[in-house]
Structure 1
């Protein structure tokens, strides 16, 4: 049953590339649509906040649908949205093009993760999702940087146009090769899933995802701008730098998949601690080839790992409804992405690009404090007790 997981991983590549490709294109989009880079960064916030606000509801509702047809429809939606983005005449149409895929991403990612875990078994949840997560890492290794290189060569619109064609191709592959997947552990009602939001432990884990992703995307949203304006790189060099950032994420994806199965919160703390080092070292080493490579390498490994760790962490906490648990992480993570883009934009406006690493590291430090507190929480059915503050 490895083929279904690999097919979903390939589809996940397209889904996540659609979300994050804009990171490498922000400077070009801002110039073409005649807005500032922080204003263009609000496109990231729009996508992320839409996922955060609607993701759990959409996932809970669509969990009852047959997976193959659902995944194909989502990919067709992505193809249409990327076509609209490629033709967008202004920032408002571009905003609409970013809104549509934001509705499909949480449903695909949560249910694809649940499907992979159902195939591999809960004891191998981390490794199964690591295979799905390989598509995410490939999106950062190839999707985002290749999109940047395409933008530099033929314009940012061509990057979205090619992505639309890829989404159509992936839909065709799923139609031909993905078997009909019976819904396992179908949720009986929306209320039976949302009741877990009464758990302080679940709320704490959602907040942890918000903090982690806020920290990561305070800086990552504007990484291309950092490399252009502070390091002085052109679009081609920025593309290769982003490819290197994503490539080291393969290591983080593998390490995170193994560590999270043993202890999710310890894995979170360890990788967040190393991430702080990479974030703080980025700007001071911006003119040193080896120093910049080392800082981006540490950041890239830990960021890829935290995508996976955060996802599995909430699925394990919500073991009786893993797809809904995954959707809660996606919602919390995207709320963090949106907040990070906004925080980063404010930092740029008030303190300059050079302060992004420090601001991001501060948020990651808060996430470590929260993770340490959550380790003291004792799950006792049906109530989860946490230590008094």
Structure 2
């Protein structure tokens, strides 16, 4: 049963790369579509806000469908939308190409882990979910930078064309090799699940995800632009930098997994504090090889750790409804991603590209304060 799990992880790689590959392609997209980088950054916002607004509802609605058909259908939609992106001749067509897959991403991620457990059985649930999550890490380590390198060598349209072919190929593989799994009993209504939001502690956890991802993507959305314009790197070197940024995320993913089991909120505060250091140090160190490398390494490691920490933190905060809590984290994180892209664009237009790291660090600093506040003994009974 290992092959179906690995195929789901590979599909997850394509799904996540589709969302985030645009980070490394923004400068080229902006030039070709004759818009500013901050305007092109709104494509990130559109994708993220769509996930945030519709994710929990679409997941609850789609849970009634047989998983194999659902996942194959989602990947076919991703193939079509990436093909449309490759042919887009203006920002509006590109917006449609980004809107469509955003509707499928939360459905895939909220149900893929559940399906993996159905395939292998509860006794091997942890191993199955860890393999699915590895697709997220690989999207950061390989998907985004390789997409950037393809974009530099062949144009940004080629990167989306490759993603379209990958999505189509993985849809065919899932159709052949993914076993059918039973549909789950949907006895608990979506409104009933929303009852967990009465917990002040859970509300705080969702807000924390929004803040953390807002801070991350205020700067990360425009990292390729920072490396091009401030450091003077060409597209190929930017791609290698993004690959290094993602590679150190493997360390962060491991450290985050260990830390979150001990204390989720302390882990969030600690990694956020370290991330502030990396973000603030990038611009002052932009012209020194070792200084820039260290700053990006700290930033990349902590960012990967916080992806995992935030996901597990929400699940642990609502053990009575872990799947719904996970969907709330997906929604909150993508709301933060969208807000971060908007905030970053405004900072570029008003204060300049060199101030992105400082603006992002302010939001991450607020995240540290909120994480510490959520440790208050007055809020803890809400977890019972």
* TM-score normalised by structure 1 residue count: 0.93
- The residue that corresponds to 2:329 in the other structure is 329
The change in CA–CA distance for 1:258 and 1:115 in structure 2 (over 3 A counts) is farther
- The residue that corresponds to 2:227 in the other structure is 227
Residue 352 (str. 1) matches residue 347 (str. 2): no
CA distance in 2, matches of 1:226, 1:360: 14
The alignment of Structure 1 onto Structure 2 pairs a total of residues equal to 382
> How far off its partner does 1:231 sit?
0.3
> How far off its partner does 1:133 sit?
2.3
The change in CA–CA distance for 1:359 and 1:57 in structure 2 (over 3 A counts) is same
* Contact kept in structure 2, 1:124 and 1:261, CA below 8 Å: no
Give the CA RMSD over aligned residues: 1.9
CA distance in 1, matches of 2:209, 2:114: 19
Residue 339 (str. 1) matches residue 339 (str. 2): yes
Residue 251 (str. 1) matches residue 251 (str. 2): yes
User: 1:1-389 residue pairs with structure 2 within 5 A?
Assistant: 1-116=1-116, 129-184=129-184, 186-376=186-376, 378-380=379-381
The change in CA–CA distance for 1:283 and 1:189 in structure 2 (over 3 A counts) is same
Structure 1 gaps, min length 5: none
* Contact kept in structure 1, 2:206 and 2:328, CA below 8 Å: yes
Secondary structure of 2:41's counterpart equals helix
* Contact kept in structure 1, 2:146 and 2:239, CA below 8 Å: yes
* Contact kept in structure 2, 1:114 and 1:322, CA below 8 Å: no
CA distance in 2, matches of 1:259, 1:42: 34
The change in CA–CA distance for 1:136 and 1:276 in structure 2 (over 3 A counts) is same
> How far off its partner does 1:5 sit?
3.1
The change in CA–CA distance for 1:384 and 1:146 in structure 2 (over 3 A counts) is closer
CA distance in 1, matches of 2:98, 2:123: 34
Secondary structure of 2:21's counterpart equals helix
* Structure 1 runs (4+) greater than 6 angstroms displaced: none
Structure 2 gaps, min length 5: none
Secondary structure of 1:137's counterpart equals helix
* Contact kept in structure 1, 2:116 and 2:125, CA below 8 Å: no
CA distance in 1, matches of 2:63, 2:217: 29
The change in CA–CA distance for 1:120 and 1:311 in structure 2 (over 3 A counts) is farther
* Contact kept in structure 1, 2:215 and 2:361, CA below 8 Å: yes
> How far off its partner does 1:223 sit?
0.3
* Contact kept in structure 2, 1:148 and 1:236, CA below 8 Å: yes
The change in CA–CA distance for 1:122 and 1:249 in structure 2 (over 3 A counts) is farther
